[in-house]
Amino acid sequence: MAMALRWGEGGRRDGRWLGGRVVRAVGAAALVVPLLAGTVLQPAAAQGGEPLRIGTIFPFTGDLSDFGPNFYNAAELAVSQINEAGGVNGQPVELLRGDSATSPQQTVEEARRLIDIEGANALIGGVASGEALQVVESVAGPDGVLVISPSATSPALTTVNDNDFFFRTTISDAAQGVVMADVARELGYQTACVLYLNSAYGQGLTEAFVAGFTAQGGEVTNQVPHEQEQASYASELAACTETEPDVLVGVSYPESAGVYLRELVESGEAPALLLSDGLRSEDLFEGLGWESFEGTVGTSPGSEQSETGSAFQAAMEETYGELPSVPYLAEVYDAVYLIALAAEAAGSNDSTAIRDALRDVAADGTPAVPGSEEYTAAVEAIGAGEDIDYQGASGSLDYDENGDVARGAIVVWAVEGGAITVRETRPLDLTAGATASPQATPSA
Amino acid sequence: MASVADRNLVDRRDGAGSGLAAGTARRLGEAAPWVVLGVLGVWSAVALTEQFVVGIIVGSLYALAAVGLTLIYGIARVSHFAHGDVMMLSAYIGFFAFTGSVAGAGASDVTLPLGLASLPGATERIWLFSFGYGLVLAILIAAVAAVPILLAIDRAVYRPLLSRGASTAIVAVSSLGVAIAVRGVMLLVWGPSGRRYSQGIRDTVELPGLPRIVADQLFILATAAILAMAAYVLLYRTRLGTAMRATADNPDLARASGIDTGSVRRWTWAVAGFLTAVAGCLLALQSQLSPELGFVLLLPIFASAILGGIGSPHGAFIGGLVVGVIGETTVGAGWIGPGYKLAVTFVVLIVVILFRPGGLFGSRS
């Protein structure tokens, strides 16, 4: 042992000069490479010789891994339609792929990679609210890069300090929480216990639900946060079932719920279930057995049935063989179109210019819808100096001053006969304080 | 081991310096964690039976893995950060042996026609368990397969580093690299979404005086107990065990007394691998297969080993049970949110270490 130690030290001493040189060489390279990248590559991108690069950061691994590949497919569909119509500013659009691993830290690292190394002009991603918050606070806001989230629903994102570079194509959970509360009361539940993922998403939606439920005379017996990836959720479940609520409200993602829903049913003390959008996953119920969850109800942001929405679903089915049952696909698809149309209207691929044009192309003007031919028509309208109003597959997408969509819809879904079915779609208008939404009290 | 010797020296000096009272105070301080943990244990078993039972089940998984971890640390001198991931990899190997499934290029799985589940009657359920003899065989295969995997990792990574005089920190960081690589393999081969050995809802049993538990959990408890006893017999009743403990105490002296420490080292990896692999399969039976789960559970497993006194196998086993029970009962009592399970566990760990720096069983060795 002692001998080995001395040899080790000797080796290090002999190698000091060589080591020093290597360290200096690496240090010099570390200084020079970003300089080169900054001075030579960036201006070229801004001068329009480069294509529009849209970076995506979706969860291919981790708790939300059911969603990532499907989201990427939806984005790819939009890009292929746009490129078929000639691309943006005369160049085909490039779609870049990042993996968020359902982790805020990983999302920020991928955002940095996509922007600094791959030259993304805008990002779609931050799928979970926690991921989106991190990207907005540490990348989008400070660096002025446009970020659109298709699915981050936390009310906290409304007021986040984003320098106006953060938008979303889905409606805030201030709305979903209200509808969840409405549904719970309509089903006759007096008492509810919320089991929620300890994250921006879980907390935000839970607060909105609790505010709505108590405002309507319901009683919330307990609010229990849970962590991802646990060996057992028995004590979390007990904290809820001990209070004997009429309904257990689950606000989580499928991987954790796959463990706790099973334990809940096995405990024999399962109350009725009301589940959030994160748990609208057919894989989840497939693995646990559909029959144990027959009649379970949930909510998720959705859209009123529209021609545009059906056309998108048909295109997805045609391109990928089946329409996945995960929510937010149309929202991903619309985010790509919004970025492309805004870049076209701005006549530039610069992130700030795209951002400045985004609200204009989304509201007031000649209606424009997604699709290859429709895109050509929209580009021609822009070329003729017309103002366009993008009407997406997910909804009309008009933005307020916070970058939130002002009009949307919440879908009420249910587990029925071995499938997830949509029971009804409730349109919402948040512009004139039309709902008793707790938007005035966004979560921290 | 040097640190234990040093501390004993310091303790003796303290005792001699300040007389009898200080000695008594020190002994009281060392006994305090035992008394507190004992009282808490009895109280929670009576007042919070349901959470206590779940704690014992989860704790028995930590315990098996922690015994492997502590053996590797004590004898092979590696702070094995890849332990959780190797544990999960073994569970996936069990899954593969059972179903023959790997993730295909698209969304669907490719199932090779060689899973044990395709043997006649292999999925016919034993008693109320959710599985038949096919899964039991698959767990055995996983446990045996973990041995060459760990030996290969040791041969390729840790032994070359140690023989070049790499410090503990370097070896620990290299094991972190191994952890990431192993997780990558799991993601590549089986994909990111959660999997289960058996689909659907499992049968439960109600034993007199105990809360209702899933039948599979009885299997978990029984297997953990049998393996713990087998490990005890191996370590304290066989020549190999004596050689292992001697090597842990003082490798140079062991080598000088004619013990083939290289062989002892290989046996250690083998024993630790077997225990860890079974723990992984049982974990998957209790919870699910997920590539990230192993790394998340690495923290409580390390806490178990340190609480029991790192290097002490029986300490690690008791430590695992204590960590499991504390995690479940403190949140079950409703004093604190379930999100802080691990935080509470670590506060208890820190307090115990303050009173007994060597852990519960550390100072005896």
Whole-number pLDDT of residue A301: 85
Q: Does B50 touch chain A (CB under 8 A)?
A: yes
Q: Looking at the domain assignment, is residue A231 inside a domain?
A: yes
Q: Answer whether residue B203 is part of any domain.
A: yes
What's residue A145's pLDDT?
Answer: 93
Q: In this structure, are A336 and A244 located in the same domain?
A: no
Partner-chain contact A255 B163, CB within 8 Å: no
Beta carbons of A225 and B204 less than 8 Å apart: no
Domain identity same for A179 and A293: yes
pTM (two decimals): 0.80
Both A436 and A288 in one domain: the answer is: yes
Interface contact B193, partner A, CB < 8 A: yes
Q: Are B259 and B241 in contact (CB under 8 A)?
A: no
State whether A289 and B58 contact (CB < 8 Å).
Answer: no
Q: Residue B49 belongs to a domain with what CATH number?
A: 1.10.3470
Same domain, A269 and A384: no
Tell whether A239 and A365 lie within a shared domain.
Answer: no
The predicted complex's ipTM stands at 0.86
In this structure, is residue B36 part of a structural domain?
Answer: no
Does the residue A400 lie in any domain?
A: no
Based on the fold, state whether residues A225 and A262 are members of the same structural domain: yes
Please give the pLDDT value at position A14.
Answer: 41
Domain count across chain B? 1
**Total domains in the fold of chain A:** 2
Residues A117 and A138 in one domain: yes
Q: Say whether A8 and B194 touch across the interface (CB within 8 A).
A: no
State the nearest Cα–Cα gap between B26 and chain A, in angstroms: 34
Q: Which residues of B touch A265 (CB under 8 A)?
A: 201
On whether residue A205 sits in a domain, the answer given is: yes
Contact of A49 with A42, CB cutoff 8 Å:
no
Residue B336 — pLDDT band, cuts 50, 70, 90?
confident
**Residue of chain A minimizing CA distance to B196:** A287
Let me know if residue A395 belongs to a domain: no
Any domain includes A146: yes
**Cβ–Cβ below 8 Å for A229 and B293:** yes
B17 is a domain residue = no
Within a domain: B3: no
**Least confident interval from A414-423, B286-295, B344-353:** B344-353
Same domain assignment for residues A163 and A186: no
pLDDT tier, B339 (very low <50, low <70, confident <90, very high otherwise): confident
State the residue range of the domain holding B329. 41-364
Instruction: Tell me what the mean pLDDT of segment B120-138 comes to.
Output: 89
Higher pLDDT, B6 or B325: B325
Query: Residue B91 pLDDT > 90, yes or no?
Result: yes
Q: Which residues of A touch B247 (CB under 8 A)?
A: none
Query: How many cross-chain Cβ pairs, A to B, lie less than 8 Å apart?
Result: 117
Residues A337 and A412 occupy one common structural domain? no
Is residue B272 predicted with pLDDT exceeding 90? Answer: yes
Q: Which residues of A321-359 are buried (b: 16+ CB within 10 A; e: fewer)?
A: eeebbbbbbbbbbbbbbbbbbbbbbbebbbbebbbbbbb
Mean pLDDT of B226-234: 95
Q: What's the rounded Cα separation, in Å, for the pair B21 and A12? A: 50
Same domain for A271 and A216: yes
Dihedral through CA B90, CA B92, CA B95, CA B97, nearest 10? -60
How close A112 comes to chain B (CA, Å)?
21
| Residue A97 falls inside a structural domain | yes
Answer yes or no: do A80 and A143 share one domain.
Answer: yes
Q: Is A30 a member of any domain?
A: no
With an 8 Å Cβ cutoff, is A288 touching chain B? yes
Of A69, A198, A235, the CB nearest to B51: A235
Same domain, A285 and A415: yes
The answer as to whether B12 is a domain residue is no
- Which residues does chain A have with pLDDT short of 70? 1-48, 431-444
Give the separation between CA B92 and CA B95, rounded to whole angstroms. Answer: 5
CA separation (Å) from B245 to A1, A81, A436, B220, B255? 19, 68, 69, 28, 12
Q: What is the CATH number of the domain that holds A414?
A: 3.40.50.2300
Residue B47 pLDDT level (bands cut at 50, 70, 90): confident
Whether B19 is in a domain gets the answer no
In a domain, B60, yes or no: yes
- What's the pLDDT score for residue B19? 65
Query: Cα–Cα distances in Å, from A183 out to A221, A412, B65?
Result: 18, 8, 45
- Give domain status of residue A344, yes or no: yes
* Domain of residue A70, residue span: 53-170+328-390
The residue type at A376: T
Out of A235, A255, A289, the one facing B290 most closely (by C-beta) is: A255
